Structure 1
Amino acid sequence: MGFLMATAAFEELADDFEFLEDWEDRYRHVIDLGKAMPPLEDAFKVPATKVDGCASQVWLVPDITDTTFSFRGDSDAMIVRGLIAVLANLYNGLDVKDVLEVDAHAELGRLGLHDHLSAQRSNGVRAMVERIRAVAHAAA
């Protein structure tokens, strides 16, 4: 499996996280990312876009143009909205084939998120990544 460079947006995020040494600041930064993300219209909050395996309600709506992958998402939990924003930074703008090459676990590990997310939240992130990969796989 070839290692794929993260998107420029994710690299910038990783740099921001390096600058924020305190976990509380990182946590707040994730929440701010979620707040900055435009909300998903209610019309998209349907069972087909809902991600199972998350403690909170999560919806992911893929948007694939030609072979460029991106998605929008929303959640009823602020921290999860932030995690969706982090995943958007990681995946949006990639070619659908490249989405499958991303080692999300390793990339998110660079942000130091694993150590501080509850098991439930970690499972939720895993479920979101699996959904993203499945959509990209189907599109590729």
Structure 2
Amino acid sequence: MPAKKNNYRFEEILDKHQLKKTDARLRVLSMLASKNFATSQPDLEEVMVDVDRGTLYRILNAFEEKGIIHKVFDLNGTANYALCNSDCEENHHHDEHLHFNCVQCNNVYCLNDLDLPDLNLPEGFKSLNFSLSVTGICPKCGKKSK
């Protein structure tokens, strides 16, 4: 999903998923859209000091259930959140893409534009979701180390 910083687009997303348009929800969407990497709840808490932890947790949980965001874990096991592709639906995500974990800055990047191989499971197995991640050094950290 392209990062749109205007509230009109975010309000459309909330309308589409039948969620009330609150300032906190709009701000969470804006924060997630403003970054090119996934963001953890603790990182959101640092910026959104006027929103309590429970409210932020409920917002992230509702967004994930509705298919607005998806969760990916960093190298420390911390959940990070990123906006979903526009074709995600309630309780059914279509975010089968590569996640890149940088070992230096610990950021998690969604690499949506890479072609992934088809997943051919043995007979009787049914895939509901899968996660593929790579660890390494991101371009920003790579430039710092030169």
| TM above 0.5 | no
TM-score (norm 1): 0.32
Higher strand share: 2
Structure number with greater CO (CA < 8 Å, separation at least 6) is 1
Greater C-alpha radius of gyration: 2
Q: What TM-score comes out, normalization by structure 2 length?
A: 0.31
